[in-house]
Amino acid sequence: MNTAHKKGLFITLEGGEGSGKTTMMQQLAELLESRGLPYIATREPGGIRIAEGIRELLLHPDHTEMDIRTEALLYAAARRQHLVEKVEPALAQGTTVLCDRFIDSSLAYQGYARGIGIPEVLSINAFATEGRFPDLTFYLDVKPETGLARIAAGRGREVNRLDLEALQFHHKVREGYQRVAAMYPQRIVMIDAEKRPEEVARQAKERLSMFLQEFSTDLSNK
Ligand code: TYD
């Protein structure tokens, strides 16, 4: 991993619906804070005005006619703007960036689950990011049934028919993530998110600690 050209660390969180990314974000942020490392927390798609606008287009429930390649291009466009406007300037200042979702979401959702192809989606994203990859990625691996049940419980309702119709898709997303994780074993840390949230958080913090130690000389020189 080559971090010599940059200052802050770029850390991303990935996972399917209900995998616990939000809780994990808070836990990792706490760790960075306790180490006195400057950081920002952000998310995709969104994080800045133009990308939030694209997010509206992408996630609007009325936009049922959206073509899957249009969808992939819009995610890549939102990613580009967010990267240029928010992520790169922060990294350049020595600020660590914690980002909820990044390129691996596109590879798993658009590339694999929607069936465009991981290499095809990778190539439009290589254009969008000019080859910028995270330094470290946590992928929270959870069965779609578990994730869905967590979401339903949070909303105080049972899993309904529509949720179950989507189950097939979420299985494909998980399979996609597992393939992407196998493509980047150095960068992507897979965490079993079926476990209790405290255990999941403990594991992720431990990995982040190790990672920070590895790069402490690098960081303290900036
Ligand atoms: P969001 O409400 O932020 O979901 P979550 O809390 O699960 O992150 O919605 C983001 C949705 O967009 C989510 O369903 C995953 C999807 N997505 C993609 O399909 N491709 C992408 O590249 C990204 C960043 C997100």
- Cα of 8 vs centre of ligand 1, distance in Å, is 24
How far is residue 75's CA from residue 102's CA, in Å, rounded to a whole number? 9
Per the structure, the count of domains in the chain is 1
| Number of the ligand 1 atom closest to the C-alpha atom of 45 | 24
Would the CB of 129 count as within 6 Å of ligand 1?
Answer: no
Examine residue 45 and state whether it is found in any structural domain, yes or no. yes
Would the CB of 39 count as within 6 Å of ligand 1?
Answer: no
Phi, psi of 208 (to 5 degrees): -65, -40
Examine residue 55 and state whether it is found in any structural domain, yes or no. yes
SS3 40: strand
What pLDDT was estimated at residue 165? 66
- Cα of 45 vs centre of ligand 1, distance in Å, is 7
Examine residue 152 and state whether it is found in any structural domain, yes or no. yes
Would the CB of 17 count as within 6 Å of ligand 1?
Answer: yes
**Strands 136-141, 10-15: pairing kind:** parallel
Examine residue 149 and state whether it is found in any structural domain, yes or no. yes
What stretches in the chain show pLDDT beneath 70?
1-6, 162, 165, 217-222
Q: Would you say 118 and 180 are in contact if contact means Cβ atoms under 8 Å apart?
A: yes
Write the DSSP assignment of 98-157 as a string of letters. Answer: EEES-HHHHIIIIIIISSS-HHHHHHHHHHHHTT---SEEEEEE--HHHHHHHHHHHTTS
Summarised one tens digit per residue, pLDDT across range 149-183 is: 888 888 777 777 767 768 999 999 999 999 999 99
Using most ligand atoms within 8 A of CB, pick from 101, 102, 142, 174 the residue to mutate for ligand 1: 101
Q: How far from 79 is each of 86, 93, 99, 123, 209, CA to CA, in Å?
A: 10, 20, 11, 14, 27
Q: Which residue range(s) make up the domain with 213?
A: 10-220
Summarised one tens digit per residue, pLDDT across range 42-62 is: 999 998 999 999 999 999 989
What pLDDT was estimated at residue 218? 58
Using most ligand atoms within 8 A of CB, pick from 109, 142, 150 the residue to mutate for ligand 1: 109
Cis previous bond, 45, omega within 30 = yes
How far is residue 167's CA from residue 165's CA, in Å, rounded to a whole number? 5
SS3 219: helix
Examine residue 4 and state whether it is found in any structural domain, yes or no. no
Examine residue 1 and state whether it is found in any structural domain, yes or no. no
Examine residue 163 and state whether it is found in any structural domain, yes or no. yes
- Cα of 15 vs centre of ligand 1, distance in Å, is 9
CATH number, residue 104: 3.40.50.300
User: Which residue is closest in CA terms to ligand 1's atom 15?
Assistant: 105
Phi, psi of 84 (to 5 degrees): -70, -40
What pLDDT was estimated at residue 7? 84
What pLDDT was estimated at residue 141? 97
Q: How far from 221 is each of 6, 37, 130, 215, CA to CA, in Å?
A: 11, 13, 26, 10
- Cα of 176 vs centre of ligand 1, distance in Å, is 14
